[in-house]
A and B are shown apart, each in its own frame.
Chain A
Amino acid sequence: MTTPGDSGARETWPLWEVFIRSSRGLSHVHAGSLHAPDETMAVRNARDLYTRRAEGVSIWVVRASDITTSDPDAKGEFFESPQGKEFRHASYYSESESVPHL
């Protein structure tokens, strides 16, 4: 199975996925990917490539080949558990709709 950004063995440098925290209080969000020889250079490249306009206060990098993902071919079955369980949402309970603070 291929990882999200895995692109073959011909690259001199491995591929890294970059996650940026745009400001304190927010989580790191995937920004994109890049090539770098090691983790130190990956973080520096990520700073130059993804935060040229102060878009981040913190950077995570992870080797694309280290990411494990759910099986894309099984997306239907894998995510079907919540189907038909509308009672997990507040909107399911209509009787109490007009009651204040509920």
Chain B
Amino acid sequence: MTTAKTTTAETAVEQAEFDRLIESDSRVEPRDWMPEAYRKTLIRQISQHAHSEIIGMQPEGNWITRAPSLKRKAILMAKVQDEAGHGLYLYSAAQTLGIDRETMFEQLITGAAKYSSIFNYTTPTWADMGSIGWLVDGAAICNQVPLCRASYGPYGRAMTRICKEESFHQRQGFEILLELMRGTPAQRAMAQESVNRWYAPALMMFGPPDDDSPNSKQSMAWNIKRFSNDDLRQRFIDMLVPQAEVLGVTLPDPELKWNEARGHYDFGPLNWDEFYEVLAGRGQANAQRVAKRKKAHDDGAWVREAARAYADARMEERLAS
């Protein structure tokens, strides 16, 4: 009984210290006490984010061998390499919360952990490399910049590094579309068709409307999330419209209109049924994405084991001498 009481009292002290850190907008570091729900929320969010980066290599990797010039190929390879790097920064951040990478990998393969639904869409044309950079990475940046100030130190630091690198991703995509829009009628049509397909899914990357996003409130109270899904979506649309004008593409929403009174663009409803369908595994490429990730992991097993065996043998040699 005494032990239980002491434990409760200790927890109260720890909780108070945690609350003080959050309230003063300070940072929580790996070995600090934190509520179990806070830890779980972070593991879920950071690992999902890491999985998104790693799965996100596939839709673009699809075009590396067919990029239209050596310059574009080099850029695309650098971008896909960045995504691998971003995944690794984030896996490391998640690991500081006490989950190992093998477990995260299993959660991805079994579907226990999600990744961003956007990467379940296929990339049938070269213009999709432009749309992904401009719209998908654009939405990601909008989402990620406030995460640099997330209350969990390792997450914020990983995000700061990621955001620094991400802005090249958006610009290179924009310039792919710009080049197509300055090209032949067929190239312009290809750019427009691609934007038509990616626009709405990119807007849905911010997550469901605030009323249907039950976890958002707690995440905001913990200073993990700084702005609501709808606020970020609105901010993104307001930025997109003038950019679309520079490109000369039409954003596929007939209800998109400047609202003087609100100081924002009004926009039409999004198809959330589609969002939930893709989330439930019934998108264009869900099975293919996960299968490819699993194959890459399995095919690499002998490399990991051989390198480990070599390292162990060398260590033994050193100890023996």
A interface, CB within 8 angstroms of B: 2, 4-5, 7-8, 10-13, 15, 32-35, 37-38, 41, 48-49, 52-53, 69, 72
Contact of B30 among A4, A41, A48 (CB under 8 A): A4
Number of A-B contacts (CB under 8 A): 67
Which B residues are in CB contact (< 8 Å) with A38?
Answer: 307, 310-311, 314-315
Q: Given A4-B30, A72-B31, decide whether A12 and B305 contact each other with a Cβ distance below 8 A.
A: yes
The verdict on B65 contacting chain A, using a C-beta distance below 8 Å, is: no
> Do A13 and B308 touch (CB < 8 A)?
yes
Q: Please provide the chain B residues from 131 to 170 with a CB less than 8 Å away from any CB of chain A in the complex.
A: 157-158, 161, 165
Which A residues are in CB contact (< 8 Å) with B161?
Answer: 32
> Do A32 and B89 touch (CB < 8 A)?
yes
> Do A11 and B96 touch (CB < 8 A)?
no
Other A-B contacts than A32-B157, A49-B89, 6 sampled, CB-CB below 8 A, are A4-B96, A32-B92, A38-B311, A49-B85, A52-B78, A52-B81
Interface size on B, residues (CB 8 A): 30
> Do A37 and B310 touch (CB < 8 A)?
yes
B99-107, B110-118, B230-238, B246-254 - the one binding chain A: B99-107
Q: What DSSP secondary structure best describes chain B's contact surface?
A: helix
The verdict on B245 contacting chain A, using a C-beta distance below 8 Å, is: no
Which B residues are in CB contact (< 8 Å) with A69?
Answer: 31
Give Cα A37 to B305, complex, Å: 9
Give Cα A48 to B85, complex, Å: 8
> Do A52 and B305 touch (CB < 8 A)?
no
Q: Which 4 A-B pairs have the closest CB atoms?
A: A38-B311, A37-B307, A7-B95, A8-B100
